[in-house]
Amino acid sequence: MKTTQANYKAIVSSDWNQCLAPCGPFDPIIFCYPHLSEDLSAIFKAYTGNKISLGQANRDVWSILPAPLAIAQMDNYLDACFRTYRGVPELISWCKKNKILFMINTTGMIGYFQRVFAKHLLPAVPVLSANPMLRYPSASTDPPDLYELSEVEDKGRNTDRALHAYSVSEKSLVIIGDSGGDGPHFQWGKQHQAYVIGSMAKQSLIDYCRRNGIEIDLLFGPIHDEERGEATEMAIDFMELSSILMDMSH
């Protein structure tokens, strides 16, 4: 789709799964095909832990998936299970009001987000970068700019694409991620003056950054895997990030 120009002062490029929401990218599939839970969880851990590529993960999923999820199946999952961490929808709305472009940049499936926006479960975002493994026909509620993400390295490429499309300075870029799968995005960001935030950071992200000499500017929420728990995570209010984002936009 064609970029809609707007006068944005900054960009937030954020992962979604287990970063802004307590869910995984394959949860809709598990909801519809519960017997695949163990295999899909193993695939998810492998690519977020930098053991296999996202492309390989997609191929592994297709090899065991009985059929692509229909819109009705995705809607049933969202009706039953959709949640975000506290304050995430409010932060997205706040960003829009303050001329900060909020970009969801994730290995989650495009089709998942198409239905999220069609059902108005989240405020609209100008840019979505996501996995084309599942994609439904275009709809008026789709984000204006929809970028395909086929490997985790595409996160940096697509963030760069948005920076240029919306004429935003690299110095006004914030990157948010949670796992080793976000490591290449953090590495790219640090090479381009971005402020990087580890949200609900997994040990795989900490280890990736340590190995590659990447300084995480802020660790937000519980850090290590053993500290993670739904009650702890859901107590974190993402609106607390608004002061940092305001500073980055000036």
Q: Give one DSSP letter per residue of 22-40, joined into a string.
A: S--TTHHHHHH-GGGHHHH
- Does the residue 5 lie in any domain? no
- Its domain, for residue 117, covers 10-23+84-248
Q: What average pLDDT does the structure give for the chain?
A: 94
- Does the residue 210 lie in any domain? yes
Question: What are the tens digits of pLDDT across the range 36-74?
Answer: 999 999 999 998 888 999 999 999 999 999 999 999 999
Q: Could you tell me how far CA 214 lies from the centroid of its own chain?
A: 20
Instruction: Give the Cβ contact number of residue 227 at 10 Å.
Output: 11
Cα(123)–Cα(235) distance, rounded to whole angstroms?
21
pTM of the model: 0.94
Residues 18 and 70 in one domain: no
Mean pLDDT of 145-171: 97
- Does the residue 223 lie in any domain? yes
Cα(130)–Cα(14) distance, rounded to whole angstroms?
11
- Does the residue 187 lie in any domain? yes
Question: What are the tens digits of pLDDT across the range 197-214?
Answer: 999 999 999 999 999 999
Q: Which two tokens stand for residue 82?
A: 């959709």
Residues 46 and 113 in one domain: no
Question: Looking at residue 107, what is its pLDDT?
Answer: 95
Q: Is 17 exposed, middle or buried (0-12, 13-18, 19+ CB in 10 A)?
A: buried
Which of 168, 186, 169 lies closest to 177, judged by CA? 186
- Does the residue 4 lie in any domain? no
Question: What are the tens digits of pLDDT across the range 79-114?
Answer: 999 999 999 999 999 999 999 999 999 999 999 999
Q: Is the pLDDT of residue 1 over 50?
A: no
- Does the residue 134 lie in any domain? yes
Residues 51 and 114 in one domain: no
Residues 240 and 200 in one domain: yes
The number of distinct structural domains making up the chain is: 2
Q: Is the pLDDT of residue 139 over 60?
A: yes
Question: Looking at residue 250, what is its pLDDT?
Answer: 73
Please tell me whether residue 174 adopts helix, strand or coil conformation. Answer: strand
Residues 69 and 172 in one domain: no
Cα(225)–Cα(229) distance, rounded to whole angstroms?
9
Residues 169 and 241 in one domain: yes
Domain end, chosen from 79, 103, 123, is at 79
pLDDT class for 247, splitting at 50, 70, 90? confident
Q: Is the pLDDT of residue 228 over 70?
A: no
Q: Which two tokens stand for residue 78?
A: 């969202």
Which of 8, 106, 26, 127 lies closest to 74, judged by CA? 26
The CATH number assigned to the domain holding 179 equals 3.40.50.1000
- Does the residue 3 lie in any domain? no
- Does the residue 138 lie in any domain? yes
